[in-house]
Amino acid sequence: MEFQYILLAPVVLLVGIVIYFLKSKLESKQNQQTQQVIRSEEKKIQCQDQLIPISIYFGSQQGTAARFAKQLSEEGKEHGFITTEIDLNEVEFENEMKKGKVGIFCMATHGEGDPTDNAKKFISWLQEPQPSIIGFQFAVFGLGNRQYEHYNKIGKLTNNLLESQKGVRCYQYGEGDANSTLEDDFIDWKKDLWNELKISLKDLIDQAKNCQVQQEVQENPESTNDNTNTGSTFKLVVSNNEELNFDQALQGQYDFQTKQFLKAKYCQVVSISQLRQNQKDGSTLQIIFDTGREGIEYKTAMNLGVYPENDDQQILEIANYLGENLDTVYSLELLQQNNRAKLPFPSPLNVRKILKHFVDFNGQLMKNTLTKLSKISSNDEQLKNKLIQLTTEEGKAGFQDLVDNMKTTIFQLIKENNIKLNLAQFIELCPRISPRLFTIASSNLKNPQYVEIADSLLIDTLPNGTEKLGLCSQYFLNIQKKLLEGECVRVRVDFRESSFKLPDDPNKSIIMVGPGTGIAPFIGFLQEREIFLQNQPQRQNEYILYFGCKHQDGDFIYKDQLREFERSKTIDRFYTAFSRDQEQKCYVQDLLKRNSEELYNQILNDKVVIYICGSTNMGNSVQNLIKEILRKNGNWTEHEAEEKIQSMEKQKLLIKELW
């Protein structure tokens, strides 16, 4: 027995040595592999740092700037850049806007020369000294509208502040006018963008190229170089899961407008009725929402954002065309491994809801949509050429006819040209639905439970005589029918701050200029004054109202309520201009002009706050008239009058809400 042990001992020793040797070899190999992985990861990180990602930041209120940013992002990828469109509200400025980084900004101007809500933080940050910006490479495109006094103020400001803080502009500043040529201005501006960036960012690109080549040789010798990018961020997958409730959807992963939609709330519609005496010249609806039931609080003269839904009949037609069943439930999956990629809507959701809430297939066609459609129909050479031609200089008149006269929608274009596409492509092609804003026409003090708006329906008459209603106009008319049938209807809404607030100083008089639906905020102001006078009958100030419409027995909205305010002296002075009730046209400006001497003295002594609400044309004429009164009645120079207007705006003595 002992002899056996003596014989076995060397064998055991030998086996032990072999095991030890094998184990240490294995460990060494594993170590080597780990080291390789670490080195490769380090390399990747190093490489990613050297690649040139371009961030396309956007400041957008109603989605156009976000759309332009998305378009730039898609084009940038086609040019070999790593581009991502980014909501300015989601940015850590110091980390992202610094030397070695590149950012393109699409910046809309809103309010009266103000930043959009999602760009407010950024603009305040930029107005302070920011050392990180030194060496940050940037380019800016501004979105504005020449009808507004402060044309493209925010685009210009962004460009100037980045430059004055020693950022490096790598492409010229550009801006566009939403009143006429916005998309063409954008196309013109970006014509040389990518080629110029390839030159101005050459050093960074060369570094990135070297890095990529090494990476491919070391890690992927059989690389097929297949990095075709379709630009799509998601795919649709049929799902057996239950549909998602919007109120439970996570915030953050969705694109700009969808995020706003998810933050909004459902509110029940109490009633919809006609505000005009007759509908010869149009239709204005009084729409009342029950906010109390939802526990929503609001303030007088805020803006209400309404998220309109597409029409059921149209939804059915589109689903049929795309070969989809309205009840099929889809889930969305992100295709891009990019933590900033966004989904167009939450899921799982059925086709009906996807088309109802998230796909704007009625809005104005854009050239970019035609370009995308031409790619989808690339098998049909003739159609492809026709679509491309419409986007060129020669096709300009044809495109204008399609948009301005025919008001052609994306779906009409697809159907008329028999273009075959699937649901995902259709979603990708269409923008998201933008909320429509309305100035609240009720006071929270008088009606804490209800919110009221006055909606002047937008109806275009097409060359063939048929009428095309605006999306939200159609939506409210559909709801009106449902209410008449006894249905309970809820609308998704949100509330936004407005610059219309009554003066803190109770001794200040106010002049309210609000023709048409511009009267809305003043209904709220007057309801508030009614309550105030009940508690404190002694008057310290004057409420003066200027209202205008076409006919006093046609479109004089809130006629009875306003006459009652006049009778009860809630309005101290009430001036009305009925433009077509007599031969000589008469507008609110004409009435103001008649009172120019009084107005001049009130302005001179900073005794009044002037509020103007309604169309941009009317607002501009009223402001020009004020300037003229300053010049004529006080012998002010043009420059002095202009400066006074600006100082009144700054001191909130002249406040406008124009659309």
Dist CA 84 CA 88 (whole Å):
12
Taken as a whole, the chain contains a residue count of 659
The yes or no reply on residue 150 touching ligand FMN (CB under 6 A) is: yes
Q: Which of 84, 118, 130, 152 is in the footprint of ligand FMN by CB under 6 A?
A: 152
The yes or no reply on residue 144 touching ligand FMN (CB under 6 A) is: yes
The yes or no reply on residue 455 touching ligand FAD (CB under 6 A) is: yes
Contact 655, 499 (CB under 8 A): yes
* Residue number with CB closer to ligand FAD (511 or 658): 658
Alpha carbon of residue 24 to chain centroid: 62
The yes or no reply on residue 480 touching ligand FAD (CB under 6 A) is: no
Q: Which of 112, 117, 311, 542 is in the footprint of ligand FMN by CB under 6 A?
A: 112
Q: What type of residue is 302?
A: M
* Residue number with CB closer to ligand FAD (410 or 599): 410
- Taking CB positions, which residue lies at the least distance from ligand FMN? 144
Minimum CB separation of residue 62 from ligand FMN in Å reads 3
Sequence-ordered list of residues with C-beta below 8 angstroms from that of 522, at least 6 positions apart, any chain: 512, 514, 545, 611, 613
* Residue number with CB closer to ligand FMN (176 or 554): 176
Pattern 305-344, ligand FAD, x by CB under 6 A? ---x------------------------------------
Is cis: bond before 463, omega within 30 of 0?
A: no
Sequence-ordered list of residues with C-beta below 8 angstroms from that of 189, at least 6 positions apart, any chain: 141, 172, 174, 175, 176
Minimum CB separation of residue 512 from ligand FMN in Å reads 18
β-strand partners of 609: 510
- DSSP tag of 462: P
Q: Which of 168, 341, 421, 458 is in the footprint of ligand FAD by CB under 6 A?
A: 458
Select from 357-365, 381-389, 423-431, 630-638 the region that touches ligand FAD (CB under 6 A).
357-365
Dist CA 116 CA 256 (whole Å):
13
Dist CA 378 CA 384 (whole Å):
6
Sequence-ordered list of residues with C-beta below 8 angstroms from that of 425, at least 6 positions apart, any chain: 376
Q: Which of 71, 116, 374, 409 is in the footprint of ligand FAD by CB under 6 A?
A: 409
The yes or no reply on residue 430 touching ligand FAD (CB under 6 A) is: no
Contact 435, 297 (CB under 8 A): no
116 binds, among ligand FAD, ligand FMN, none (CB under 5 to 8 A by kind): ligand FMN
Rounded CA Rg of the chain: 31
Sequence-ordered list of residues with C-beta below 8 angstroms from that of 50, at least 6 positions apart, any chain: 204, 207, 208, 211
* Residue number with CB closer to ligand FMN (121 or 539): 121
* Residue number with CB closer to ligand FAD (456 or 570): 456
The yes or no reply on residue 260 touching ligand FMN (CB under 6 A) is: no
Nearest to 56 by CA among 76, 29, 37: 76
Tokens for 626, please give them: 């004020």
The yes or no reply on residue 145 touching ligand FAD (CB under 6 A) is: no
3-state SS, residue 350: strand
Minimum CB separation of residue 175 from ligand FMN in Å reads 8
Site for ligand FAD in 269-308 (CB under 6 A): 303, 308
The yes or no reply on residue 300 touching ligand FMN (CB under 6 A) is: no
Q: Which of 140, 269, 370, 471 is in the footprint of ligand FAD by CB under 6 A?
A: 471
The yes or no reply on residue 63 touching ligand FAD (CB under 6 A) is: no
The yes or no reply on residue 151 touching ligand FMN (CB under 6 A) is: yes
Q: How many residues bind to ligand FMN according to rule CB under 6 A?
A: 24
Minimum CB separation of residue 357 from ligand FMN in Å reads 19
Select from 7-15, 161-169, 448-456, 582-590 the region that touches ligand FAD (CB under 6 A).
448-456
Sequence-ordered list of residues with C-beta below 8 angstroms from that of 190, at least 6 positions apart, any chain: 72, 75, 141, 174
Pattern 497-536, ligand FAD, x by CB under 6 A? --------------------x--x----------------
Q: Which of 436, 492, 550, 644 is in the footprint of ligand FAD by CB under 6 A?
A: 436
Dist CA 104 CA 433 (whole Å):
25
Sequence-ordered list of residues with C-beta below 8 angstroms from that of 106, at least 6 positions apart, any chain: 56, 57, 58, 59, 60, 65, 66, 68, 69, 72, 141, 143
The yes or no reply on residue 459 touching ligand FAD (CB under 6 A) is: no
The yes or no reply on residue 246 touching ligand FMN (CB under 6 A) is: no
* Residue number with CB closer to ligand FMN (112 or 380): 112
- Please give the angle made by the CA atoms of 449, 477 and 455, to the nearest 5 degrees: 60
* Residue number with CB closer to ligand FMN (62 or 310): 62
Alpha helices in 108-219 (DSSP H): 120-127, 153-164, 182-190, 193-200, 202-219
| Residues making contact with ligand FMN (CB under 6 A) | 60-65, 108-113, 116, 143-145, 148, 150-153, 178, 182, 659
List residues near ligand FAD by CB under 6 A: 303, 308, 362-364, 403, 407, 409, 436-439, 453-456, 458, 460, 470-473, 517, 520, 657, 659
